[in-house]
Amino acid sequence: MDYLTATAEEIRRHLPREHRSGEPRLFLLYALLARTKGLETTAADVHDAWAAWKAIAGEQHEAIVPFESLSREVQDQDLPFLHAIHQVARTL
């Protein structure tokens, strides 16, 4: 297993069980954030990674807007992923 995939899997393990079944390619983007931005990663970064993943897949979604344009409720959906990225970043 390569280092980015290993980092992605570590992020997955740090998530609450209900969030662990996501697409592996999305978790690779989260791994990139953990390795490049580390503890400076923000919820907006997590959202941007998700939006990029959707764009690469050619999928449309109503939440593909700048993070600041989202409701607080939708913004908060990125927090479990942000916390997992931060946990893994502390070990890198």
pLDDT tens sequence across 43-88: 999 999 999 999 999 999 999 999 999 999 999 999 999 999 999 9
Q: From residue 78, give the alpha-carbon distance in Å to each of 1, 2, 3, 29, 67.
A: 27, 26, 24, 14, 10
- What is the average pLDDT score of the chain? 97
